[in-house]
Amino acid sequence: MKFPVQTSPHVEAQSSVAGVMTTVLWALVPGTVVAIWLLGWGVLFNVALAVGTAWLAEALMLWLRARPFHPALTDRSVLITGWILALCLPNLGPWWLPVVGSLFAVVVAKQLYGGIGYNLFNPAMVGYVVLLVSFPEAMTRWGAALDGGAAELSLTEAASWTFFGALPPGSGFDALSQATPLDQLRMVVTEGGSVANMGGSIWSMDSSWSLWLNLAFLAGGAWMLYRGAIRWHIPVAMVVGVLATSSLLWAIDPDQFADPAFHLLAGGVIFGALFVATDPVTASTTPRGRLLFGFGIGALAVLIRSFGNYPDGVAFAILLMNLAVPLIDYYTQPAVFGRKSGAASRGAGE
Amino acid sequence: MPEARVAVSEGLYGFHGGLHIEDHKAPACERPVEDMPLVDEYVLPLHMHIGAPAIPVVEPGERVRRGQLLARPDDFVSAAIHAPTSGTIRAIEPRALPHPGGLSAPSIVLAADGEDREAEPFDPWPDFRDRSPVEIRSRLREAGIVGLGGAVFPTAAKLATANPGGVETLVLNGAECEPYISCDDRLMQEEPETILRGAQVILHAVDAARCLIGIEDNKPRAVAAMQAVIDRLAAEEDERRFEIKVVPTIYPAGGEKQLIRTLTGIEIPRGRHVTDYRMLCLNVGTTAQCWRAVVEGRALTERIVTVAGGGVTDPRNLRVRIGTPMADVIEAAGGYTEGVDRLLMGGPMMGFALHEDEVPVVKATNCLLALRPADRDPTPTPQPCIRCSRCAEACPADLLPQQIYWYSRAEQFERCQDYHLFDCIECGVCSAVCPSHIPLVQYFRHAKTEIWYAERERAKAEHARRRFEFHNERIERQKAEREAALAKKRAAIQAAQEKKAREQAGEGGGQPAASSGDGDDRKAAAGMSIEAARQRARARKAKAREQSPNTVSGGGQRSTGEGRDTGHSPGAEGDS
């Protein structure tokens, strides 16, 4: 009997790209639900618009590049890109914000680099940063959470706001937007005030919602860790980087710099550490390299927050460290079997 | 039975990475080993071991008996081949080999007579302790013993790489980490004493102080059977050198270097021998054969083969004569099931796919694995690498397969070597865990082959360059010699002419015949250069006669014992 020949190994597949991506998608659910609950329907519109645009953009680009739709489109990676971008956007932004961001993320940052596996920069973060520098005003339309905030808008009111930029007549809301804690911090610092004098104001304002949101993201992160979709190195190192850098600055001058707990819970640190910095394609691949990569993001994020022009620095920090990945990977190669210092020398007798 | 585990030994060192994988050993491992019935024709490839092919010592038409020598080892690293049963040599001709490339090679074809008469055995040596290591090695060599774990390295040559008294620990490999395979498990359950007695022979031959036996914790019955014999030997004969180490079931725990790392914590780098670290590692099946060869005087003519996989009706372990066609072995296990589309020799992780089943069982055949699409990944489409690093996390050689893949895909082979391509043991773990289903091992084999090829080409080009330079030099030298001779001759002629002219001038004579004088010049020069060439040739011959005794004795030696670990091209050593 004759047989066709294949190379080893000949075993059941242990995992698949689509499987990994599906785990990440499920992990995004709790954070998204909490965000909708706290910040209103605008979040849902952002997610739907960003994910839909991302998927269509991927399909269009594959068609233009004459590449097969399967498995590039069916691996679900593009859904994550759109979803992550959506969760970074203001809940009261206009509809074209997620659309433009997603288009740029998928078309330029992902597909023009060659599609999944070949992009140097995190596509969602590229899309976010493009929006941030191009449409600074639209990107600040954050509505207050819960009581009296955007979460009180009905579905039709929110849709009207997102798509037409106005509330339906007679809806009784006026000033919807308000500054985020990080914006407030920036204002205080630039106007020469003291962070310490703000007292509990940073915390009283919106602290509860950021806590709930971060807990929901942590639940998702725990799920990804449990399923093996991510490893602990990058999130832990990034949190350590944030805490170490902010502690140092805070110890130097508590008037000028916010305390480490604030840095940890405000803005995108937890979300970025678990969902964005862990994107395997654009992160470091060696164990030591991942620690360096994560720590670098944490440290840079705090430095950008403290000395840069933008209120949050996580996205910039991630992109900067993306750039450093080839270098990090080259210099953090693990010692090969038999070449570790000590291991081979024991009992080595000529 | 796959769920039953025995407690893992304490004080193990483990190794990096590895793969927890469904072992599929149950159906075959549940049944005792059965004897494969005799068949009509046996095919014995002359090259079924590491090293030089054996040289036939029989002629077609000759009648032979079981255990009779058919082919003798041709070199230090080579192995004898014996008749698996009695019969007549039908032919010595190229036959298809069990080989990934589907090659054919010279083989001895034996037509069995069905009587299975035995040849005169070697002298049984129940008193093996009175035999010298050299005698034991030559017996193992005569009996055709090779490593039966799959490497088929001649055991005598392996023992010889150990300096006398240079081995402290004998490591017996009973880990059997590949899924499906259970031939060593069954052997340990059924013949533990043969294995341990054989180990005693080896311990004597290399004068080792202890013997560690590594067995995976998914073989509780094997561990119990072996432990019972060890306890009995300790009680009856005060034999206290044996110690079982139960290791966790994680592929590739049975890789030689991984097992040694697990048991002793010592990592043996590429290019070094196990014996450099005062150790020796043998498969349990090999030591059982050592006992048969040394103490019973029998040659290696059979081995246990696991026939398994969803592609065979009745998975089982069979005691198969070397040379039996695989199709008959499958038949003895109930034949193929519906939908079988792949036949492997060896396990699913490192075994290779066969083109056909009309090839013989050889000394390396520990398993015949027939698979249906449902038993494995039905060749999924490879996707781009997402750099998730699961391969690096699982690599037992601590490599970064994703980086080597990247550079081998780009054909940047030097960068592959920067990332230690040649430390890859091709265990297949990276390919198995890859979520993108990239055939990583295939890329690495390709890169290695390309590098070897480039090295060979480079060596050839270097050789050709040297020859060319030497040739040019010789031409130059001859030209210079010729011109020097010519100039000398010219000067002489000119001097003669001048003298003549002076004489003629004195007599008041006419014009000198310039043109004819030129012709004389050339003739004379040619005569001289021919004479010079003759002299040179004579001198060369005389010199060659002086030197010839030395040159002949210098070229005949061959390197020995290097075939296994350092069988790479010189370029393989170029990194680090």
Q: Which A residues, 91 through 130, put their C-beta within 8 Å of a C-beta on chain B? A: 114-118
Q: Does A7 touch chain B (CB under 8 A)?
A: yes
Position A177 scores a pLDDT of 55
Position B562 scores a pLDDT of 39
A5–B355 CB contact, under 8 Å: yes
Q: For A135-282, where are the alpha helices, taking DSSP H only?
A: 155-164, 181-190, 201-204, 207-227, 233-252, 260-265, 269-271
Q: What is the mean pLDDT of residues B265-274?
A: 90
Residues of A in contact with B352 (CB under 8 A): 7-8
Q: Report the mean per-residue pLDDT for chain A.
A: 86
Count of CB atoms within 10 A of residue A55's CB?
18
A349–B277 CB contact, under 8 Å: yes
Tens digit of pLDDT for each residue in B392-434?
A: 999 999 999 999 999 999 999 999 999 999 999 999 999 999 9
Tens digit of pLDDT for each residue in B524-558?
A: 666 677 777 778 778 777 776 665 544 444 333 44
Tens digit of pLDDT for each residue in A9-40?
A: 888 888 899 999 999 999 999 999 999 988 88
Position A38 scores a pLDDT of 84
Q: What is the mean pLDDT of residues A171-175?
A: 55
| Residue A69 distance to chain B (closest CA, Å) | 12
Q: Does B400 touch chain A (CB under 8 A)?
A: yes
Position B554 scores a pLDDT of 38
B396–A336 CB contact, under 8 Å: no
- The Cα–Cα gap between A32 and A216 comes to 8
pLDDT surpassing 80 at residue B340 = yes
Single-letter amino acid, residue A153: L
A329–B428 CB contact, under 8 Å: no
Tens digit of pLDDT for each residue in B466-516?
A: 999 999 999 999 999 999 999 999 999 999 988 888 888 766 544 544 444
Position B441 scores a pLDDT of 93
Residues of A in contact with B257 (CB under 8 A): 337-338
| Residue B572 distance to chain A (closest CA, Å) | 15
Q: Does A341 touch chain B (CB under 8 A)?
A: no
Residue B381's pLDDT band (cuts 50, 70, 90): confident
A336–B423 CB contact, under 8 Å: yes
3-state SS of B462-482 is HHHHHHHHHHHHHHHHHHHHH
- The Cα–Cα gap between B401 and B416 comes to 10
Q: Which B residues, 192 through 251, put their C-beta within 8 Å of a C-beta on chain A? A: none
Q: Which A residues, 225 through 244, put their C-beta within 8 Å of a C-beta on chain B? A: 228, 231
Best of B167, B267, B422 to mutate (most A CBs within 10 Å, chain A): B267
More confident residue, A124 or A182: A124
Q: Does B303 touch chain A (CB under 8 A)?
A: no
With CA atoms as reference, report the closest residue to A243 among A298, A182, A290: A298
Nearest chain A residue to B23 by CA: give it: A11
Q: Beta partners for B41?
A: B111
Q: What CA–CA distances, in Å, run from A7 to A284, B124, B426, B431, B446?
A: 30, 44, 11, 10, 12
Query: Residue B262 in 3-state DSSP?
Result: helix
Task: Give me the residue from A75, A285, A349 closest to B276, CB to CB.
Answer: A349
Residue B168's pLDDT band (cuts 50, 70, 90): very high
Position B78 scores a pLDDT of 93
Single-letter amino acid, residue B221: R
Tens digit of pLDDT for each residue in A119-168?
A: 999 999 999 999 999 998 888 777 765 555 667 778 888 888 888 887 77
Q: What is the mean pLDDT of residues B425-453?
A: 93
Contact B266, B15 (CB under 8 A): no
Best of A2, A6, A10, A122 to mutate (most B CBs within 10 Å, chain B): A10
Question: Both ends of chain A: CA-CA distance in Å?
Answer: 50
Position A12 scores a pLDDT of 81
- The Cα–Cα gap between B357 and A1 comes to 6
A19–B435 CB contact, under 8 Å: yes
Position A86 scores a pLDDT of 96
More confident residue, A350 or B538: B538
Residues of A in contact with B409 (CB under 8 A): none
Tokens for B149, please give them.
């774990």
* Beta-sheet strand order (sheet of B69-72): B55-56, B69-72, B81-82
pLDDT surpassing 50 at residue A264 = yes
Tokens for B434, please give them.
């890859």
pLDDT surpassing 80 at residue A189 = no
A349–B357 CB contact, under 8 Å: no
Single-letter amino acid, residue A286: T
A5–B354 CB contact, under 8 Å: yes
Residue B544 CB contacts under 8 Å (≥ 6 apart), including other chains = none
B350–A8 CB contact, under 8 Å: yes
Q: What CA–CA distances, in Å, run from B149 to A194, B195, B539?
A: 74, 14, 59
Position A145 scores a pLDDT of 58
* Pairing outcome for strands B87-96 and B104-112: antiparallel
Task: Give me the residue from B21, B278, B357 closest to A1, CB to CB.
Answer: B357
Share of chain A above pLDDT 70, in %: 83
A338–B390 CB contact, under 8 Å: no
Task: Give me the residue from B265, B356, B439 closest to A346, CB to CB.
Answer: B265
Q: Does B141 touch chain A (CB under 8 A)?
A: no
B441–A9 CB contact, under 8 Å: yes
pLDDT surpassing 80 at residue B561 = no
Q: Does B373 touch chain A (CB under 8 A)?
A: no
Tens digit of pLDDT for each residue in A318-347?
A: 999 999 999 999 999 999 998 876 544 444
Task: Give me the residue from A2, A117, A228 closest to B387, CB to CB.
Answer: A117
| Residue A15 distance to chain B (closest CA, Å) | 5
Position B546 scores a pLDDT of 61
Tens digit of pLDDT for each residue in B271-321?
A: 888 988 999 999 999 999 999 999 999 999 999 999 999 999 999 999 999
Task: Give me the residue from A19, A71, A338 closest to B267, CB to CB.
Answer: A338
Query: Residue B242 in 3-state DSSP?
Result: strand
Q: Does A342 touch chain B (CB under 8 A)?
A: no
Q: What CA–CA distances, in Å, run from B387 to A118, A193, A279?
A: 10, 46, 9
Residues of B in contact with A70 (CB under 8 A): 381
Q: Report the mean per-residue pLDDT for chain B.
A: 88
Position A309 scores a pLDDT of 81
Q: What is the mean pLDDT of residues B124-137?
A: 93
pLDDT surpassing 90 at residue B563 = no
Residue A11 CB contacts under 8 Å (≥ 6 apart), including other chains = B21, B179, B348, B349, B376, B377, B428, B432
Share of chain A above pLDDT 90, in %: 57
For B192, half-sphere exposure in the C-beta direction (CA atoms, 13 angstrom radius) is 20
| Residue A121 distance to chain B (closest CA, Å) | 13
B351–A350 CB contact, under 8 Å: no
Q: What is the mean pLDDT of residues B225-240?
A: 96
Cis peptide leading into B45, omega within 30 of 0?
A: no
pLDDT surpassing 60 at residue B567 = no
A9–B350 CB contact, under 8 Å: yes
Q: Beta partners for B44?
A: B108
| Residue B236 distance to chain A (closest CA, Å) | 33
Q: What is the mean pLDDT of residues A223-241?
A: 96
| Residue A108 distance to chain B (closest CA, Å) | 18
Position B553 scores a pLDDT of 40
Position A190 scores a pLDDT of 65
Single-letter amino acid, residue B94: P
